[in-house]
Amino acid sequence: MSRTSHRTDQRTALAVLRDLVGLRSRPGRRARKLLVAIALVVAGTLAVTLAVHRLAFLLYAEQFVADLRVSLLPTEPQHPDVVIVTLTEDTLAMFPYREPVDRGFLADLLHLLESRAPRAIAMDILFDQPTEPGKDERLRQAIVGATVPLSISYVDDSAIVNEDQKAFLDGFVPASDRALANFSEDPFDTARWIFPGRTTSDGRYLYGFARSVAAKLGIATPARDIEIAWRGKPPDREALPFRQFPAHTVALLPPEWFRDKVILIGADYSITDRHRTPFAAVYEGAKGFLPGIVIHAHSVAQLLDHRPPYGLGRWGNLAIVCALACLGALIGGIELEVVTRIALAFAAVAILWLGGFTLFHYGTVMIELVTPTLALAMTLWLTESLGGREARRQREFIRATFSRYVSPKVVKEMIEKPSLAIEGNRREMTFLFTDVAGFTTMSEAIGTQELADVLNAYLDGVCQVILRYDGTVDKFIGDAVFAIFNAPTDQPDHAERAVRCGLEIDRFAEGFRAMQNVRNVPFGVTRIGIHTGTATIGNFGSLQRMEYTALGDAVNTASRLEGLNKYFGTRICASAATRQQCPTVAFRSLGIITLKGKLSSLVAYEPLHDAAPEADYWQRYDRAYASLESRDPRALELFERLHDERPADPCVAMHLERLQSGDTGAELVMSDK
C-alpha cells in the first residue's frame, strides 16, 4: 500500500467511523445513559430483593448458605457463665413415671442448686397439670420461696393448654417468674431469632425465656426479634459450647461449678423438645436438631455477653445488593467479548462468596450472598439485553476494520468517548517527530518500486517500535512519522516512554541505514524531535476527511526540535519539559535555543544511549558546557580538549567553532525553521 493510499484510507476510515458510532453531539446523551444505568440498578436491586423474600426456594437458598457458614463456625472457648442441667433418660429412669417429671425431685434439685449460690436459675419445664399433691406443693413452695432470680416457662396458647391447664399453671408459677418459652422460627421451622415476648391474654407483657433471664440480672434488651449469634464448639472435639450435667448427678459435683453461674434446667432426651437449627445444614440428627434448653443457652449467653447478631441488618445487606447490581451493570457495559464479561462476572461472584465465608469465619459477620449474586446477574442481563447484539457486532466490525488504519486504542477511545472525537480534549502529551535526512535525493537515485519497498519497510519498523511503547502513530508525512504519547489513554510516564521509544527508533534506524547503504541505497540519517506540552487532541475534519490528531504550539515545537538536529549534528533532540519527566534517562545539554518567530527560548537536550561506558567523557562535556553557559573564558580550552579526544562529536565541533569565532554563551537564535 502506498503512503498516499494509506493516508486516504485513514481519513476515510475515520469518517465512516464517525457515522457508524454516531459521534454527532447529542444534548443530554450522557445524562440519559446515566439515568438508564441508575434505573437498571434500582430495578435489579428491587426485583431480586423482593424475589428472594417472596419466593420460598430463593429464601431457602439464602438461608441455607448462611446456615452453612454457621455450621462451620470457628472454635471458641466453652462459655464460662452459663451451665445447663438436663433431664436425661437416665434421670427419668429413676422414677415410676416419665411425665410429668417427678415434682419432688425437681423441688430438691431447685433447693440444691440454690444452695450453690448461682446468679440465676431458669427452668424450661411446663407445670400445666397436677401430679402427686405433696410433691406439687413442695415444688410450688420452692419456687415461691426462691432466694435467687428465677424464670420458669409459661404458656397461654389455647392450642397448647386448655383452660384447666392454664388455671393450674397460673396458680403454680408466680406472675413475676413467668417467661414465654417460644422460639422465633423462619418459614422452614428453623430456630433463628431470640423471641422477645408478647402481651398475654390477661393483658400482661411477658418476656421471652432468654430476655426474662437477662431482665432478672438487670440487663436491658431490645423488644424485638434478635438473630441468634450461635457459639462455636470448643477446640476439644468432645466438648460442648456449654457445660452440661445430668440433673441426677448435680449432688455429686463440686459446688464451685455452679457458683455465680446462670443455670438453665431443661429436657434432653429422646425427641422431646428438639428444634431445627442452622447446624442442620451440615449435621443430621441430634447435632442439627438441638434441645430447646440448649437453644435458650445460646440466646442467654448472647444477651449476657452483649454479643451482636451476625448480620449487617436490612440496610447493610441492601447496600451490598445495590453494589453488586452496580457491578453487574458496569460489567455489562464494558466493551468486551461476551465470554470475557461472563468470566468477569464469575470472578466477581467468586470474590463475593470467598469474602463472605472468610468474613464470617474470621469476623463472625454475616452478609447475604445469594441475593447480591442474583442482583449482579440480573443487571448484567438487563444491560446486555439493552445493549443489543447488533450494536456489539457493529463495534466489533469497527474494531476489526479500522484498527488497520489507526491505533486500536484510538478506535477504542472513539467508541467509548465519542464526544472527545468531536469536541477535543486538552491534555499534556509528549510528541515525537521523525524525519529522514536527504530523502528527496534518495528518491531520485533509486527506482519507484524500490523506493516504495524501502520506505514501507522503514515505516513499518518505526511504527512497530512506537506501538511497542504504546504510542499512537498519528500520521505519515512522506518519510516523516508523527507519534503521540498519553493519548488517547492516560500514561503517567508518557515523557519517558517517548524518549526511550526515540532511542530505540534511533537504534533501528541506524541499523536500517547501514543495511541499505551496503545495498548502495543512500538512505539518510533519521532525525528525531521530542517535546512535552499541552495541546488539544481529538478527531478533526469533515465527514469526508477526518483525522485523529493533536493541535497546538507544543506540536510545532516538537517538529522544530527535530529540525535542530542538523545544526547540532545530533540524531535526537528533546526539550527541557521532556527531560524533567525522565529521571532515569541520561541527557546532555545542547544549547539555549530561540526558535524563529519565538520570543522565549528553550533548552535543548540530547538523550543518550547507555552512558555508563562513557560516563567520564559526558562528565567532562557537562563541565565544558557549564563553562560555556556561564561565559567562562576557560570554555574554549575545555572544548578544544574534548574535540581532540573525540573529533567525531559534531556538537562539540559546533560549539568549538562558535567559541573560536568569538561567540560566547550557550544561546543560539535560529534564523530559519
∠ CA 101-107-109 to the nearest 5 degrees? 90
- Asked if the model's pLDDT at residue 14 lies above 70, the reply is no
- Asked if the model's pLDDT at residue 378 lies above 90, the reply is no
| Predicted pLDDT at 22 | 44
Spans of all domains in the chain: 34-68+310-389, 77-297, 424-609, 613-673
pLDDT class for 543, splitting at 50, 70, 90? low
- Higher-pLDDT residue of 258 and 315 is 258
| Predicted pLDDT at 586 | 94
- For residue 437, give every residue at least 6 positions away whose Cβ sits within 8 Å of its Cβ, in sequence order, or none: 524, 525, 526, 527, 566
- Higher-pLDDT residue of 41 and 327 is 327
Model confidence pLDDT, tens digit, residues 227-236: 999 999 888 7
- Asked if the model's pLDDT at residue 580 lies above 60, the reply is yes
- For residue 428, give every residue at least 6 positions away whose Cβ sits within 8 Å of its Cβ, in sequence order, or none: 486, 494, 532, 533, 534
| Predicted pLDDT at 415 | 64
| Predicted pLDDT at 54 | 81
| Predicted pLDDT at 263 | 97
| Predicted pLDDT at 544 | 61
| Predicted pLDDT at 396 | 64
CB burial readout 126-140, b (16+ within 10 A) else e? bbbeebeeebbebbb
> Which of 10-19, 282-291, 441-450, 515-524 has the least mean pLDDT?
10-19
The one-letter amino acid at 273? D
Give, to the nearest 10 degrees, the angle between helix 313-333 and helix 338-363.
160
- Higher-pLDDT residue of 383 and 301 is 301
- For residue 490, give every residue at least 6 positions away whose Cβ sits within 8 Å of its Cβ, in sequence order, or none: none
pLDDT (average), residues 285-302: 92
- Asked if the model's pLDDT at residue 407 lies above 80, the reply is no
- Asked if the model's pLDDT at residue 9 lies above 50, the reply is no
pLDDT (average), residues 264-274: 84
- Higher-pLDDT residue of 598 and 420 is 598
| Predicted pLDDT at 45 | 82
pLDDT class for 38, splitting at 50, 70, 90? confident
- Asked if the model's pLDDT at residue 271 lies above 70, the reply is no
pLDDT (average), residues 576-587: 96
> Which of 23-37, 212-226, 369-383 has the least mean pLDDT?
23-37
Alpha helices in 29-102 (DSSP H): 29-54, 56-71, 89-92
Rounded Cα distance between 408 and 413, Å, is 9
Considering the segment(s) 424-609 as one domain, its CATH architecture is 2-Layer Sandwich (3.30)
pLDDT (average), residues 366-392: 80
Residue 342, CB-side half-sphere exposure with 13 Å CA sphere? 4
- Asked if the model's pLDDT at residue 13 lies above 50, the reply is no
- Higher-pLDDT residue of 278 and 50 is 278
For residue 621, how far is the Cα from the chain centroid?
51
Average pLDDT, the chain: 87
- Higher-pLDDT residue of 362 and 158 is 362
| Predicted pLDDT at 3 | 42
Rounded Cα distance between 396 and 387, Å, is 13
Q: Please check whether residue 412 is in contact with residue 515, taking contact to mean a CB–CB distance below 8 angstroms.
A: no
> Which of 286-295, 341-350, 382-391, 458-467 has the least mean pLDDT?
382-391
Model confidence pLDDT, tens digit, residues 92-131: 999 988 889 999 999 999 999 999 999 999 999 999 999 9
pLDDT class for 340, splitting at 50, 70, 90? confident
Model confidence pLDDT, tens digit, residues 649-667: 999 999 999 999 999 899 9
| Predicted pLDDT at 317 | 87
- Asked if the model's pLDDT at residue 76 lies above 70, the reply is yes
| Predicted pLDDT at 111 | 96
Cell of 91: 434421670
- Asked if the model's pLDDT at residue 152 lies above 50, the reply is yes
| Predicted pLDDT at 391 | 57
> Which of 374-383, 415-424, 439-448, 609-618 has the least mean pLDDT?
415-424
- Asked if the model's pLDDT at residue 2 lies above 80, the reply is no
Q: Please check whether residue 422 is in contact with residue 19, taking contact to mean a CB–CB distance below 8 angstroms.
A: no
- For residue 3, give every residue at least 6 positions away whose Cβ sits within 8 Å of its Cβ, in sequence order, or none: 455, 459, 476, 478
| Predicted pLDDT at 12 | 42
| Predicted pLDDT at 408 | 65
Rounded Cα distance between 559 and 411, Å, is 25
pLDDT class for 423, splitting at 50, 70, 90? low
pLDDT class for 23, splitting at 50, 70, 90? very low
For the chain, give the percent of residues with pLDDT over 70.
87
Cell of 455: 520506505
| Predicted pLDDT at 403 | 58
> Which of 203-212, 213-222, 422-431, 476-485 has the least mean pLDDT?
422-431
| Predicted pLDDT at 440 | 87
Can you spell out the DSSP letters for 565-616? Answer: HHHHT-SEEEEHHHHTT-TTS-EEEEEEEE-TT-SS-EEEEEE-S--GGGHH
| Predicted pLDDT at 545 | 65
- Asked if the model's pLDDT at residue 583 lies above 70, the reply is yes
The three-class DSSP label of residue 604 is strand
